A and B are shown apart, each in its own frame.
Chain A
């Protein structure tokens, strides 16, 4: 939804500031915000029919900070209803309909930040705000070939954002490049008295030359099985080429993997299931619940009301163990490199619980490597950057992810900035003649 009146007002204000010589980097630059962020003057639907007419008379802190930076809110962007916390079956689980992928509109743009990724990839806005509980920035960034940042838990205030999981939700920038994402992150990070989980830390980009000098010694944890065992046939070659390119800028690869005995999928599902069902209990038990679109999501939300305290707390205990394991891993490596997603964007009509679509629980016949990095990284509250690394044989973008210790965003963004100076995947646009699409494969 275009926020026409507000955008014009903010653009006029930016014009006046530019005439005065104001040089703030985001001044006058339009952006879109995932529709779970409150914004004055526009509905905030959370992507869900029961909230189609919801409005707020104040801005989410992230939007208020971008307003202070002179940015122009141009659109509220579609999302999966309630950020998909009940476990949805179809991309159509949204008040605004399925997110269409600009690279092939028969494919999904990913979720739950579906519109944020599609709008950036399609060139409608240069950047957008998304949110991630477990994969909702990463998956759409990978499917749409853009650069998305999942900040450390607590770096960006969540005040004014729909809560799905108090202990997992994060707000982050989705942009074309790491450099653009860094500008946005610098604007939205920082303390917020309205968010008690705010860390108070700020983000400051690193000097590129200091990072370039460090790259040869940077220890990159990588597990080859993430691609060999898990990548789809369409994605495999492009992902391998992406890793080879990455190795040219940061050649010191070490083998380090996540613990194999932790059930990442059940852990993250139990945490956001229990927290989300509690947050939405009134809706679930009320008259408007049936208005939600996706039948599987409704079943999931209802069932999650009955998650036992014992199991939620066990998941939280295991989170502590996982955090300790990451601390040990980061003694051997500075960052972890893995696939953004091991598959390309799925077909719009394809059920998302089909085999091979989720990577949270790899089949026991395959080596797990670091394929559980999305749920594991979210459980530990660690930052990640997702960035494009080429195109699969089906013509769809593929990408990698880089995860680091808490509050290592300056390093992660600087590394990907260096990668993007040596490659041009991030500069490709849908519809360019070089992009030859083959018929979509069924999985």
Chain B
């Protein structure tokens, strides 16, 4: 039986990792939002009030 190489662990607070995770989080949220369809034919007018 061969010994499996250990995956090098990374500090969860590493700034580079955090930056990557934050960007990925935003993209993941965007994908979720875009997945949810809004029927434009019945969508009410925008909410801007002068």
Q: Distance (Å) between the CB of B20 and the closest chain A CB?
A: 9
Instruction: Kindly report which residue of chain A lies nearest to residue B21, judged by CB atoms.
Output: A299
Interface residues of A in 310-339 (CB under 8 A from B): 311, 314-315, 317-318, 320-321
Digitize B26-37: 1 where CB-to-A-CB distance is under 8 Å, 0 elsewhere: 101110111110
A25 at the binding interface (Cβ < 8 Å) = no
Instruction: Kindly report which residue of chain B lies nearest to residue A264, judged by CB atoms.
Output: B32
B43 at the binding interface (Cβ < 8 Å) = yes
Within the assembled complex, what's the spacing in Å between the Cα atoms of A308 and B31?
12
Give the contact-size bracket for chain B.
Answer: 20 to 34
Given known pairs A273-B26, A296-B18, the reply for A318 and B12 (CB within 8 Å) is: no
Q: Distance (Å) between the CB of A332 and the closest chain B CB?
A: 22
Give chain A's interface secondary structure class: helix
B50 at the binding interface (Cβ < 8 Å) = no
Given known pairs A302-B19, A317-B38, the reply for A311 and B30 (CB within 8 Å) is: yes
Digitize B1-45: 1 where CB-to-A-CB distance is under 8 Å, 0 elsewhere: 000000000001101001101110110111011111010000110
Residue among B18, B21, B22, B34 having the largest count of chain A Cβ atoms under 10 Å: B22
A99 at the binding interface (Cβ < 8 Å) = no
Please state if B30 and A308 are interface contacts (CB–CB under 8 Å). Answer: yes
B13, B18, B33, B47: the one contacting A318 at CB < 8 Å is: B33
B18, B29, B33: the one contacting A295 at CB < 8 Å is: B18
Within the assembled complex, what's the spacing in Å between the Cα atoms of A298 and B36?
29
Q: Distance (Å) between the CB of B24 and the closest chain A CB?
A: 9
Please state if A296 and B26 are interface contacts (CB–CB under 8 Å). Answer: no
Instruction: Kindly report which residue of chain B lies nearest to residue A263, judged by CB atoms.
Output: B32
Within the assembled complex, what's the spacing in Å between the Cα atoms of A177 and B46?
40
Please state if B18 and A270 are interface contacts (CB–CB under 8 Å). Answer: no
Q: How many of A's residues come within 8 Å of B, CB to CB?
A: 30
Q: Distance (Å) between the CB of A99 and the closest chain B CB?
A: 20
A89, A270, A320: the one contacting B33 at CB < 8 Å is: A270
Please state if B38 and A303 are interface contacts (CB–CB under 8 Å). Answer: no
Q: Distance (Å) between the CB of A298 and the closest chain B CB?
A: 8
Within the assembled complex, what's the spacing in Å between the Cα atoms of A263 and B34?
10
Within the assembled complex, what's the spacing in Å between the Cα atoms of A262 and B33?
8
A261 at the binding interface (Cβ < 8 Å) = yes
Q: Can you list 22 A-B contacts with CB-CB less than 8 angstroms, sorted by A residue number?
A: A87-B22, A262-B36, A263-B29, A263-B35, A263-B36, A266-B29, A269-B29, A270-B30, A296-B18, A299-B22, A300-B22, A300-B25, A302-B22, A303-B26, A304-B26, A306-B26, A311-B30, A311-B34, A314-B34, A314-B36, A317-B38, A317-B43
Task: List the 8 shortest-distance A-B pairs measured between CB atoms, nearest first.
Answer: A266-B29, A303-B22, A299-B18, A263-B32, A299-B22, A266-B32, A311-B30, A314-B33
Q: A87-B22, A298-B15, A300-B25 are known contacts; what are 14 more A-B pairs with Cβ within 8 Å?
A: A89-B12, A262-B36, A266-B32, A266-B33, A295-B13, A295-B15, A299-B15, A299-B21, A304-B22, A304-B26, A307-B26, A318-B38, A320-B43, A321-B38
